[in-house]
Amino acid sequence: MKDKLSGKKTYFTAAAAVLTALGGYFAGEVDLTVTIQAVFAALMVVFLRKGVTSEAAKAAGDAPAEKPAE
C-alpha cells in the first residue's frame, strides 16, 4: 500500500486542504478572501513539490536534459 501512495500523499493533502477551505466557506466560518488564500496555498504546495521533484531528478541525471533553444 505504501508503494501505491508514493508520490501521491502531497496531492491528497492538498485536496483535503481545498475541501476544508470550501467547507469552511460554505459553513459560513470564513469569508471568500480566506478561502481563496487557502486554496492558492494548497495549489502552491503541489506545484512546489512537482518543481522540486523534477529539479532533483535533473540534478541526479535521471531525467533527460531539455533541448537547447534553436
Q: Note the pLDDT tens digit of each residue in 12-23.
A: 999 999 999 999
Q: Does a structural domain hold residue 48?
A: yes
Query: What is the tens place of the pLDDT at every residue in 34-48?
Result: 999 999 999 999 888
Kindly state the helix (H) or strand (E) to which residue 37 belongs, with its residue range: helix 32-60
Compute the radius of gyration of the chain from its Cα atoms. Answer: 17
Greatest pairwise CA separation for the chain in angstroms:
54
| CB neighbour list of residue 28: distance below 8 Å, 6 or more residues apart | none
Q: Which domain holds residue 47?
A: 2-54
Query: Is the pLDDT higher at 68 or at 10?
Result: 10
Task: Indicate if the pLDDT at residue 59 is higher than 60.
Answer: yes
Amino acid 14: pLDDT = 92
Q: Does a structural domain hold residue 65?
A: no
Q: Does a structural domain hold residue 66?
A: no
pTM: 0.70
Q: Does a structural domain hold residue 50?
A: yes
Q: How many domains does the chain have?
A: 1
Q: Does a structural domain hold residue 11?
A: yes
Main-chain phi, psi angles of 69, to 5 degrees: -65, 140
- CA dihedral sign, ordered 5, 9, 13, 19: negative
